[in-house]
Amino acid sequence: MTRVRRLSIWSILLCCVFSIVSGIALDSSSPGGTMNFRAVYYGARCLIRHTDPYSPTEFLRVYREESGELPQDPGKAALFLRAVPICVNLPTTLLLVAPFAWLAWGPAHLLWLALIAVVFTGAALFAWDLASDYSPKVSVVLVCLLAANSQVLFIVGNTAAVAVGLCVAAVWCFAKDRLVLAGVACLAISLAMKPHDSGLVWLYFLLAGGANRKRALQSLMLTAVLAVPSVLWVSMIAPHWRQELQTNLAGTSRHGDISDPGPDNASRRGSADILINLQTVISVFHDEPWVYNIASYLICGSLLTIWSVKSLRSEVSPIHMWLALASIAALSMLPSYHRPYDAKMLLLSIPGCAWLWSRGGVTGRLAIALTTAAVLATGDIPLAILTRLFRHTDVHSMNLAEKVLAIPLLRPAPFALLIVAGFFLWQYVRCAEISGFKAVRVAREQARVL
């Protein structure tokens, strides 16, 4: 192992440790700590006790009987009661968390945080290993920048931390052609936990064909194996879980609630991104669900269609893979509900960025600038600073010009993600076209020789 490689690994480990320690320290004094894991943990506890986890009344009864801890601050308590007792997790997620739910809350949440630490640190190292072949210095700087701004993973304990980490691990296994069966299992678990995080990465492997398609289908089959007992288990205890889940999702997304993409979101009114999907940008201009949903679907759907066609037609090569994944890692955050912890998927944009940088020129410098901007725009420390600065900003009082100018500050994450998705998609299309032109030229030259 070279000195540069050792230094890079230690730098990444230190940045991960910084996020782990600071994240846990920031939340250690709150009785509502690891809020997202509480929701899925007590949801699984409901199932173990043969109680409907999708009924807020039943959920809260189990929670009070086993814990009873609520934040002392009235505002935090109100937010806590709107977030934790409302189960919005899939049955597969509850099944996968059930082994932790058999334990008491104390050891269960400590083991869960340890799992997040291991999986996330591994994902950071995997992403660096994939990118270091093209530019070791650029890759380590970007990975360290992302790893050092991941405190929220350990503050809320969301399952996205595990799902994203396992997805990155699967990509490493497939790209290196090592531990392939482990990669299949990682991708399957990621799909079962957070399909809206890793689903489009899975779609790339399906469209790419060859061995990648086989691995994608194997992952899908394993996900189905997990889904069947999950649905059966939940259906036996909560026969109406589908309707209840839809009601819970609709309830948290209604105007002013915690998942409302509009500027009146209850958790951070008028602030920098509590949500990072594209609806949060469009809602600043027109806060009507049918407007911002349709506009987001049209924009993202157009980009996704171009990306899918190119993925079907492009040759299978590492360069095409990195550019395709760099684009889709950013794009997958935009069409539907996502939060900053989901954006750690940007680890998959780093190899493509490093490759473009290694080629030099304006394109390489642009790749570095845009990827860095996206990592910072979705990073926990920059977002916390922007939230403090703009938490009392009232977008309703702004005119159109002021809203346009304020968007990069009020909604930096979706703004940066859309630009990065478009940039890498452009490079992906351009790379595929260049490959096609080269193939035609080689064929013509061979024909002349013959």
- Whether 300 and 418 have beta carbons less than 8 Å apart is answered as no
Domain end marker among 227, 253, 279: 253
* Statement: residue 184 has pLDDT above 90: yes
- Residues 203 and 268 grouped into a single domain: no
- Residues 248 and 327 grouped into a single domain: no
CA 203, distance to chain mean position in Å, is: 15
- Residues 285 and 224 grouped into a single domain: no
Q: Which residue type sits at 398?
A: M
Q: What's the total number of domains in the chain?
A: 2
Q: Which residue type sits at 317?
A: S
Q: What pLDDT does 70 receive?
A: 67
pTM above 0.85, yes or no: yes
- Residues 408 and 425 grouped into a single domain: yes
CA 216, distance to chain mean position in Å, is: 19
- Residues 234 and 306 grouped into a single domain: no
- What 203-212 contacts at long range (C-beta under 8 Å, 24+ apart), as own/partner pairs, is 203/308, 203/311, 203/328, 204/311, 204/321, 204/324, 204/325, 204/328, 205/174, 207/308, 207/311, 207/312, 208/311, 208/314, 208/316, 208/321, 208/324, 209/312, 209/316, 210/316, 212/174, 212/316
DSSP 240: T
Mean pLDDT to the nearest integer, 373-377: 95
Phi, psi angles (nearest 5°) of residue 287: -85, 60
**Sequence-separated (6 or more) residues with CB below 8 Å from residue 347:** 123, 124, 126, 127, 143, 146, 164, 168, 329
Q: What pLDDT does 331 receive?
A: 96
Tens of pLDDT, residues 321-336: 999 999 999 999 999 9
* Statement: residue 21 has pLDDT above 60: yes
Q: How far apart are alpha carbons 118 and 224 in whole angstroms? A: 26
- Residues 243 and 287 grouped into a single domain: no
How many other CB atoms sit within 10 Å of the CB of residue 447? 8
Q: What pLDDT does 230 receive?
A: 96
Q: How far apart are alpha carbons 202 and 333 in whole angstroms? A: 15
| Secondary structure (3-state) at 334 | coil
* Statement: residue 229 has pLDDT above 90: yes
Q: What pLDDT does 84 receive?
A: 66
Domain of 140?
1-253
Which ranges in 256-317 belong to alpha helices (H)? 279-285, 289-313
CA 391, distance to chain mean position in Å, is: 24
- Residues 397 and 415 grouped into a single domain: yes
Mean pLDDT to the nearest integer, 304-312: 94
Buried b (16+ CB within 10 A) or exposed e, 424-433: bbebbbebbe
The pair of structure tokens assigned to 103 is 């334990």
Q: What pLDDT does 74 receive?
A: 62
- Residues 239 and 284 grouped into a single domain: no
Q: Which of 28, 270, 31, 4 is nearest to 135 (CA)?
A: 4
Of how many residues is the chain composed?
450
- Residues 150 and 19 grouped into a single domain: yes
Domain end marker among 183, 218, 253: 253
Tens of pLDDT, residues 340-374: 999 999 999 999 999 999 998 999 999 999 999 99
In degrees, rounded to 5, the angle at the alpha carbon of residue 305 between the alpha carbons of residues 183 and 284 is 100
- Whether 287 and 265 have beta carbons less than 8 Å apart is answered as no
- Residues 90 and 237 grouped into a single domain: yes
- Residues 367 and 407 grouped into a single domain: yes
* Confidence at 395, pLDDT banded by 50, 70, 90: confident
DSSP sequence for 14-70: HHHHHHHHHHHHHHTT-TT-SHHHHHHHHHHHHHHTT--TT-HHHHHHHHHHHT---
Q: How far apart are alpha carbons 321 and 332 in whole angstroms? A: 16
Domain end marker among 253, 275, 290: 253
- Residues 249 and 335 grouped into a single domain: no
